[in-house]
């Protein structure tokens, strides 16, 4: 949610930002909020003036009573009572106006960074940089679910019976590899100075609407029937929610945390053949980065965070690239975002394995997260980034470390988490 001062002082800037995001249907909201805010401030001023007048008249009553002017005092009491009723009416009107303003403000997108490329959808995203040389071996690399099957490591048929499409059992060395990658990701981030956390895996609706737009919530989240609880789609939701309505001491910033969680997503819609297997599922696991910092430190943290993800994947011998997200591909709360994509030697192209975002004070404003400074309380800047989301990260690992004989090589960095194994062989 943006600062309403932007609409008061520069409506055209807000409208131009909406146009850059190709959401012209939201343009009328700016004028609607402007008019509602103007009316709300007028109502507040009326209420303030009446309260001052009521206080002045209330003080007069005692003076009149002391002077024996009882009849006059009763008249003033009647006036005070009338003012009180009018104040209650104005307070209710102000409350309703504020609610209407907030409802519309929650839909207006955040102001994007000046250097975000302008484009309607992800086809207009721009490649930034490649890390590691993409390669294609002189032997065929099977589809990832076939690699897992050859290692006796995947059972989707049984998962279909227990849970339906989009679920899976990982077995044996493949399951161990999956867990090893997450454990390595955890320690990798701890070594970078991040504090490790395991958050709640369910959150209330007021936290959900604080960390994402309504459209994202409807498309992603599973609701717990009969309760005000949602299964998280990423631990970022719980981790930012941890600071809801808190005032943080300035000297405590930055707060850098890395969190593990299972993640649950609807993944509504039809998907192509390349998204079968383990690519697009309803349940996965993730190691995340979350940072709260001062506004002026935000872009430094943004650049450090995506670089950590690149470093992590390169340590597993996986070539990656970064992709700058265009304006139309940015979620409404984001100021700037880049995807980290891993090389697929089987498809001979890159695919997304993580995303790094800076959200300015949009989440903090929604959730009431502020820092205490000498000049007063200010909203913090929030950022999040994927270290590892797997099984998608597992797919990248299997393809890039697959050998011609069907075995999978274990890079040195991961061996301590695999009991010293250097290779996984087919059964």
Question: The domain that contains 316 carries what CATH number?
Answer: 3.30.930.10
238: left (phi over 0), alpha (psi -120 to 50) or beta: alpha
| % of the chain at pLDDT higher than 90 | 81
Same domain as 191, residue 43: no
Instruction: Tell me the per-residue pLDDT of 125-175, one tens digit each, with 9 for 90 and over.
Output: 999 999 999 999 999 999 999 999 999 999 999 998 999 888 999 999 999
Instruction: Tell me the per-residue pLDDT of 256-272, one tens digit each, with 9 for 90 and over.
Output: 999 999 999 987 654 55
Tell me how far apart the alpha carbons of residues 122 and 127 are, in angstroms, rounded to a whole number: 11
- The answer to which of 37-46, 74-83, 210-219 has the lowest mean pLDDT is 210-219
Question: The domain that contains 53 carries what CATH number?
Answer: 1.10.287.40
Please compute the mean of the pLDDT values over residues 285-306 and round it to a whole number.
Answer: 97
- The answer to which of 59-73, 157-171, 359-373, 405-419 has the lowest mean pLDDT is 59-73
* 422: three-class secondary structure by DSSP: coil
Residue 177 reports pLDDT greater than 60: yes
407 falls in which pLDDT band (50, 70, 90)?
A: very high
Please compute the mean of the pLDDT values over residues 76-84 and round it to a whole number.
Answer: 86
User: What is the CB neighbour count within 10 angstroms for residue 298?
Assistant: 22
Measured CA distances, 308 to 191, 246, 258 (Å):
11, 28, 12
Residue 222 β-bridge partners: 231
Distance separating the N- and C-terminal Cα atoms of the chain: 54
| Number of folded domains that form the chain | 2
Query: What pLDDT was estimated at residue 274?
Result: 52
Same domain as 359, residue 216: yes
Query: What pLDDT was estimated at residue 374?
Result: 85
Tell me how far apart the alpha carbons of residues 369 and 245 are, in angstroms, rounded to a whole number: 5
Please indicate, yes or no, if residue 92 is contained in any of the structural domains. yes
Residue 273 reports pLDDT greater than 90: no
Please compute the mean of the pLDDT values over residues 20-42 and round it to a whole number.
Answer: 97
Strand-strand pairing, 370-373 and 247-249: parallel
Q: Is the pTM of this model over 0.95?
A: no
Helix or strand holding residue 386 (H, E): strand 381-390
Count H helices and E strands in the chain, helices first.
13, 18
Backbone angles phi, psi at 285, to 5 degrees: -125, 155
Same domain as 336, residue 224: yes
Query: What pLDDT was estimated at residue 270?
Result: 45
Same domain as 337, residue 398: yes
72 token code pair: 């006059």
- In 3D space, the residue among 87, 91, 63, 85 whose CA is nearest the CA of residue 76 turns out to be 63
Tell me how far apart the alpha carbons of residues 12 and 19 are, in angstroms, rounded to a whole number: 10
Residue 257 β-bridge partners: 195, 290
Please indicate, yes or no, if residue 112 is contained in any of the structural domains. no
Range of the domain at 396: 122-424
Mean of the per-residue pLDDT values of the chain? 93
Let me know: does 126 contact 117? Beta carbons within 8 Å.
yes
- CA dihedral of 294, 295, 296, 301, whole degrees rounded to 10: 70
């Amino acid at each position: 949610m943006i600062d309403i001062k932007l609409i008061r002082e520069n409506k055209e800037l807000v409208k131009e930002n909406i146009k850059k995001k190709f959401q012209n249907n939201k343009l009328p909201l700016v004028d609607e909020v402007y008019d509602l805010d103007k009316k709300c401030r007028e109502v507040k001023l009326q209420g303030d003036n009446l309260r001052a007048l009521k206080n002045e008249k209330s003080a007069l009553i005692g003076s009149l009573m002391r002077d024996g002017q009882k009849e006059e005092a009763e008249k003033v009491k009647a006036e005070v009572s009338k003012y009180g009723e009018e104040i209650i009416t104005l307070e209710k009107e102000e409350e309703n106006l504020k609610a209407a303003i907030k409802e519309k403000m929650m839909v207006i997108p955040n102001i994007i960074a000046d250097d975000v490329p302008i484009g309607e959808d992800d086809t207009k995203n721009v490649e930034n940089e490649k890390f590691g040389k993409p390669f294609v071996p002189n032997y065929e690399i099977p589809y990832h679910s076939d690699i897992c099957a050859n290692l006796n490591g995947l059972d989707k048929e049984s998962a279909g019976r227990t849970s339906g499409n989009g679920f899976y059992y990982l077995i044996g060395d493949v399951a161990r590899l999956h867990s090893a990658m997450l454990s390595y990701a955890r320690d990798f981030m701890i070594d970078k100075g991040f504090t490790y956390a395991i958050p709640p895996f369910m959150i209330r609706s007021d936290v959900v609407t604080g960390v994402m737009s309504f459209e994202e919530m409807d498309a992603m989240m599973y609701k717990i029937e009969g309760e005000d609880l949602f299964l998280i789609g990423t631990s970022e939701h719980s981790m930012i929610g941890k600071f809801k309505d808190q005032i943080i001491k300035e000297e405590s910033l930055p707060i850098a945390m890395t969190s593990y969680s299972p993640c649950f997503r609807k993944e509504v819609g039809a998907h192509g053949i390349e998204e079968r297997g383990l690519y697009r599922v309803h349940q996965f696991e993730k190691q995340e980065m979350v940072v709260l910092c001062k506004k002026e430190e935000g872009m430094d943290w943004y650049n450090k965070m995506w670089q950590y993800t690149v470093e992590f994947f390169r340590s597993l011998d996986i070539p990656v690239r970064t992709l700058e997200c265009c304006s139309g591909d940015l979620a409404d709360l984001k100021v700037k975002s880049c995807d980290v994509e891993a090389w697929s030697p089987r498809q001979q192209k890159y695919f997304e394995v993580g995303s790094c975002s800076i959200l300015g004070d949009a989440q903090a404003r929604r959730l009431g997260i502020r820092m205490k400074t000498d000049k007063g309380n200010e909203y913090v800047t929030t950022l999040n980034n994927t270290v590892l989301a797997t099984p998608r990260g597992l797919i990248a690992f299997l393809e890039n470390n697959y050998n011609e004989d069907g075995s999978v090589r274990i890079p040195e960095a991961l061996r301590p988490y695999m009991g010293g194994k250097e290779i996984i062989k087919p059964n």
